[in-house]
Amino acid sequence: MTNAMRYKGYTARIDYDDEDAIFTGRLLGIRDGVGFHGETVEELRAAFREAVEDYIETCAKIGKSPQKPYSGRMMFRTSPEVHEQAARAAELAGKSLNQWAEEVLAEAARK
């Protein structure tokens, strides 16, 4: 079971607040803080969609582009040894390092 909801390219993490007996959610992957809540799954789903729509509308009203959750670009550092091993694995597979890394990350993310 995943604790996530998706709508219009946005993903929200879902948690349960036992003290208040509500489900809470927060949009992932953007710097703006967008949260919502509901007492039932149906209320939560409606509140999530409303939060996304409100975020998009508010951005339009203030002349700001809504932040997209993920650009498709990842930059991270690794040791030279891991870089060499990954590059070699990609080359042996007949792929670019980007193609190889995307496949490896996609497989790891599915687990």
- Does the pTM surpass 0.75? The reply is no
Percent of the chain scoring above 90 in pLDDT? 81
List, edge to edge, every strand of the sheet that includes 22-27: 4-7, 10-17, 22-27, 35-38
- Side chain identity at residue 99, one-letter code: Q
80-108 confidence digits (pLDDT tens): 999 999 999 999 999 999 999 999 999 99
Query: Rounded to an integer, what distance in angstroms lies between the CA atom of residue 13 and that of residue 90?
Result: 33
The residues of the chain scoring below 50 in pLDDT are: 1
Q: Give the per-residue pLDDT at 2.
A: 66
DSSP state of 67: P
